[in-house]
């Protein structure tokens, strides 16, 4: 590994550590040969999420996403003029000429862009929200598996469920942060049915109506994570660490349940890097080969 490549990787690791603590902890437990790929893909996801978080107006976020769309197009077209960005510059070596990687790379970015440009479509129902999570988080896991030469169909299927489950869990975890930016990404049909007051949500207030919607989304996330966990037991032992992201998501859902599915409960927003119990659970699961 060249000095330039090591510097890019170090910057990717910093991005994941600072903005995606769940995946940072999980990646440290992967086999050494898989860690660089995972950090690059997770850094890409974190960078894309930061675009929306740092832009209060959808128009500005959309413009920033267009830069990423153009950058990924250059990666996929194997252009020599790939932007000098630590994450983007790391992608060509991982993607190579793989059409599968190029497809999921584009799908990942387009799904993030859709959430900004067409939020009403994305959150129309729980099913459309799941579809967006499949396009973003599941695609991220597919990229890692494809780049790691994993062809096990059960592992790919488990990654699909994990992507939806982790994506929905992170969406619930970000409710408080999104509310500060006057954003609500909960399913519209469920909110209307439960008569959720959007003003109270953006104001940071828990309510029985909000908890009802959060419960339904959390239940769907749990269903996907349980299915991924079930399939995890049938996988070859060397592939099981790829499904470790299920653990922080399941732990968060357990804490959310204890809080009565009230998303603004303060201790739900602790940094995973300081969560000793989570670290122990991850280490034990990796050692025992169980989730």
- The domain containing residue 9 runs over which residues? 3-288
DSSP string, 76-139: HTT-S---S-TTGGGHHHHHTT-HHHHHHHHHHHHHHHHHHH-HHHHTSSHHHHHHHHIIIIIH
| Residues 207-256: tens digit of each pLDDT | 999 999 999 999 999 999 999 999 999 999 999 999 999 999 999 999 99
| Residues 6-44: tens digit of each pLDDT | 999 999 999 999 999 999 999 999 999 999 999 999 999
pLDDT classification of 270: cutoffs 50, 70, 90: confident
pLDDT given for residue 80 in this prediction: 75
pLDDT given for residue 81 in this prediction: 84
| Residues 175-207: tens digit of each pLDDT | 999 999 899 999 999 999 999 999 999 999 999
> What percentage of the chain has pLDDT greater than the value 90?
80
| Residues 55-92: tens digit of each pLDDT | 666 677 778 888 999 999 999 988 778 899 999 999 99
- 58: exposed, middle or buried (Cβ count in 10 Å: 0-12, 13-18, 19+): middle
Look at residue 3 and tell me whether its pLDDT is greater than 90.
no
Q: Which domain CATH number covers 102?
A: 1.10.600.10
pLDDT classification of 53: cutoffs 50, 70, 90: confident
Average pLDDT over residues 269-283: 89
- Angle of the 139-147 helix axis to the 99-117 helix axis, nearest 10: 160
Number of domains in the chain: 1
pLDDT given for residue 2 in this prediction: 81
Look at residue 158 and tell me whether its pLDDT is greater than 90.
yes
Query: Residues for the chain: how many in total?
Result: 291
Average pLDDT over residues 262-271: 88
Give the residue with greater pLDDT, 13 vs 5.
13
């Amino acid at each position: 590994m060249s000095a330039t490549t090591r510097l890019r990787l170090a910057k990717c690791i910093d991005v994941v550590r600072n903005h995606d603590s769940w995946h940072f902890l999980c990646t440290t437990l992967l086999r050494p040969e898989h860690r660089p790929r995972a950090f690059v893909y997770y850094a890409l996801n974190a960078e894309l999420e930061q675009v929306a978080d740092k832009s209060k107006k959808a128009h500005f976020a959309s413009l920033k996403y267009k830069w990423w769309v153009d950058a990924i197009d250059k990666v996929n077209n194997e252009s020599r003029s790939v932007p000098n960005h630590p994450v983007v510059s790391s992608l060509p070596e991982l993607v190579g000429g793989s059409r599968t990687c190029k497809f999921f790379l584009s799908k990942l970015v387009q799904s993030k862009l859709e959430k900004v440009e067409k939020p009403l479509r994305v959150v129309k129902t729980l099913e459309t929200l799941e579809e967006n999570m499949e396009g973003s988080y599941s695609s991220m896991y597919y990229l890692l598996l494809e780049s790691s030469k994993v062809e096990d169909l059960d592992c790919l299927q488990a990654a699909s469920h994990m992507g939806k489950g982790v994506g929905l869990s992170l969406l619930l975890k970000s409710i408080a942060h999104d509310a500060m930016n006057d954003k609500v990404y909960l399913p519209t049909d469920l909110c209307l049915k439960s008569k959720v007051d959007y003003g109270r949500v953006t104001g940071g207030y828990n309510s029985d109506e909000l908890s009802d919607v959060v419960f339904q989304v959390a239940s769907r996330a749990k269903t996907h994570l349980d299915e991924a966990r079930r399939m995890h037991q049938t996988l070859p032992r060397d592939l099981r660490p790829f499904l470790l992201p299920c653990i922080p998501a399941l732990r968060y859902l357990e804490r959310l349940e204890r809080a009565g599915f009230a998303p603004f409960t303060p201790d739900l927003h602790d940094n995973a890097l300081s969560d000793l119990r989570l670290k122990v659970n991850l280490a034990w699961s990796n050692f025992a080969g169980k989730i």
